[in-house]
Amino acid sequence: MLNTEHLLVYILLLPFFGILILFFIPESKQKLLKLFTLNLSCLLFTLSLILWGFFQKSVTTFQFVTKISWLPLMNLSITLGIDGISLFFILLTTLLIPLCLLTSWNSINFNLKEFLIAFLFLDFLLIGTFCILDLLLFYILFESVLIPMFLIVGIWGSRERKVLASYYFFLYTLLGSVTMLLSIMYIYYQVGTTEYEVLLTFFFSKLEQKFLWFTFFLTFASKVPMLPVHLWLPEAHVEAPTSGSVILAGVLLKLGTYGFIRFSLPLFPQASFFFAPLVYTIATIGIIYTSFTAIRQTDFKRIVAYTSIAHMNLVILGIFSFNVIGLEGAVIQSLSHGFVASALFLIIGVVYDRYRTRLVKYYGGLASIMPLYATIFLFFTMANISFPGTSSFVGEFLILVGSFKVNTTVTFLGATGVIIGGAYSLWLLNRIVFGNLKTQYLHQFLDINLREFLVFLPLILGTLVVGVYPEIFGSSIHASVNNLVEILYF
């Protein structure tokens, strides 16, 4: 019988043991390598669903807590635990990893074992980041995510600039993090520990809060990403393999928003209120600027990459609304973006595998030869523009309502991004799916196969379930968000 008390530990360690087993499977047995990794990642997702099943919705404290003494001499320990916020980030991670493996089933033919190890290592690090309750260990895991992602973009990327793009990604996101490490050292010197629940009880002075908040902001803003440190994202997306783009958009961008929710707001509440106007300004400029930039792009992936920046900056507005509605909207929109953006990159991957180009000008009239593909593309385009009945509508509606309570001007400017988003999304759909079929460029007329459909299916179901009945997720998030708002104001 499964011991649910240590379920979180099993979920965290399973990818690590999977990596050890992969080392003993010969490189020549490629099918066995793929099947083993896929089955392991599906088992992880199943365990995550069981974790959700045993999660107590009304409890505000952390659940499935496990504490292991690490360095007793320095008062450092490994503490694992989740609340309603981190639960769904873990679920999203464990869902997308098997989809990434399925989508790269036939496209990755060299260094396959290393590719699978990189994804399992990424799985381990991401789950650890979302469930660790120690600031120093969070930082270590948070930054370690760069290593497998750097390799995935740099080695298995699809074009000549892939190495440059991987360095862009690594340096942009690492440079801001150096200041955060210095701040963590200062916090340890002041408090005597980096354990999260102890830090929540410690009161920093206003000056300390402002300094510490700003150093954390530099780190998390580069991961979201916010202007002006957003340039690495379009480069990384364009050069990454499809599976790399899916995990990058689906989960890695959420590390920044999760960091704001978990650390910046509860540990430095006064500084969060003080710097809110700065955040509003950067986020609204980011939403409008990247939305207009998306319209003028010619590369399929660049368009979706810029839309991701706009949507994640809208999530930032929800986080800094400092109320339950806005914060719940931010979490649901992060989850929704994980479904929708991942699906859009998978949609790009389908045609790239067939025609080896991502330039929009070569496509047209795919509805006549790929009707199932066109239908799925239409569905996720509607989700991307927050059509009612999709998950994005729920998330963006809650964010805008929460933001309206705080600042109507910011809400109005943020909402313009939704309107512009509708323009570029429908423009892209029209160019790719409708119009005349360009037979001078397109020669293979193959619709979506069974493997590709199975990849899209959970994302379609997730988008619909959150859109039609958001309470299935909201009920688990509500208690944790309420607790966060109480910490902010009291």
Q: Tell me the pLDDT tens digit for each residue of 387-414.
A: 999 999 999 999 999 999 988 999 998 8
- Looking at the predicted structure, is the pLDDT value of residue 128 above 90? yes
Nearest in space to 83 (alpha carbons), one of 52, 45, 111: 52
| The predicted structure's pLDDT at residue 330 | 94
| The predicted structure's pLDDT at residue 238 | 82
| The predicted structure's pLDDT at residue 274 | 94
| The predicted structure's pLDDT at residue 461 | 95
Q: What is the mean pLDDT of residues 80-92?
A: 92
Token pair, residue 263, equals 């650390």
pLDDT band of residue 2 (cuts 50, 70, 90) is: low
Q: In this structure, how many other beta carbons lie within 10 angstroms of the beta carbon of residue 164?
A: 14
374-379, long-range: CB < 8 A, 24+ apart: 374/433, 376/343, 376/347, 376/448, 376/456, 376/460, 377/347, 377/429, 377/432, 377/433, 378/429, 378/433, 379/460, 379/463
Q: What is the mean pLDDT of residues 47-68?
A: 90
Q: What is the mean pLDDT of residues 203-225?
A: 91
pLDDT band of residue 1 (cuts 50, 70, 90) is: very low
What b-and-e string marks burial along 257-281, b requiring 16 or more CB atoms within 10 Å of the CB? bbbbbbbbbbbbbbbbeebbeebbe
List the single range of 189-198, 243-252, 272-281, 442-451 with lowest mean pLDDT.
442-451
Q: pLDDT, tens digit, for every residue of 90-112?
A: 999 999 999 999 998 887 777 88
Average pLDDT in the chain: 89
What b-and-e string marks burial along 118-136, b requiring 16 or more CB atoms within 10 Å of the CB? bbbbbbbbbbbbbbbbbbb
Check if the beta carbon of residue 31 is closer than 8 Å to that of residue 110. Answer: no
Q: How far apart are CA 406 and CA 411, in angstroms?
A: 9
- Looking at the predicted structure, is the pLDDT value of residue 382 above 90? yes
- Looking at the predicted structure, is the pLDDT value of residue 300 above 90? no
Token pair, residue 402, equals 């929460």
- Looking at the predicted structure, is the pLDDT value of residue 260 above 50? yes
Q: How far apart are CA 464 and CA 339, in angstroms?
A: 10
pTM: 0.93
**Cα 294 from chain centre:** 20
Q: What is the mean pLDDT of residues 158-184?
A: 80
Residues of the chain above pLDDT 90, percent: 51
Residues of the chain above pLDDT 70, percent: 98
Nearest in space to 214 (alpha carbons), one of 154, 266, 151, 278: 278
* Sign of CA pseudo-dihedral 270, 259, 47, 237: positive
- Looking at the predicted structure, is the pLDDT value of residue 34 above 80? yes
With a CB cutoff of 8 Å and minimum separation 6, the contacts of 46 are none
Q: What is the mean pLDDT of residues 236-257?
A: 89
pLDDT band of residue 159 (cuts 50, 70, 90) is: low
- Looking at the predicted structure, is the pLDDT value of residue 233 above 60? yes
Q: How far apart are CA 80 and CA 67, in angstroms?
A: 6
